[in-house]
Amino acid sequence: MATATYIPTRPGRLTVEFEDISMLRDIKKAISMVRGVTKVSVPRTKRLSSYERSLRDLDEGRVYEYDSLDDLIKEIEG
């Protein structure tokens, strides 16, 4: 799903949001070919610290519990 938003407080700017990040290069190329477009930029997202990533893992349930270290090693070895 892609959406385009015109921001009236910033004339001449357009925000495009899309779900499939693999399309980024193609979308940038297509927008830059439009007559009058002078710049196409992608804002960078803030990199999370390892602590912030750990908190996100907790919130999203990506935490596993094992009864012993041996059980963990068996799981890792497959």
Read off the pTM.
0.41
**Four-residue CA torsion sign, 17, 1, 59, 76:** negative
Mean pLDDT in residue range 50-58? 94
Q: Where are the domains of the chain?
A: 2-77
Q: What percent of the chain has pLDDT over 70?
A: 86
Q: Does residue 68 or residue 2 have the better pLDDT?
A: 68
| pLDDT on residue 73 | 94
DSSP string, 16-70: EEES-GGGHHHHHHHHHTSTT------PPPPPPPHHHHHHHHHHTT-----SSHH
| 35-53 residue pLDDT tens | 888 888 887 888 899 999 9
| 19-31 residue pLDDT tens | 888 888 898 899 8
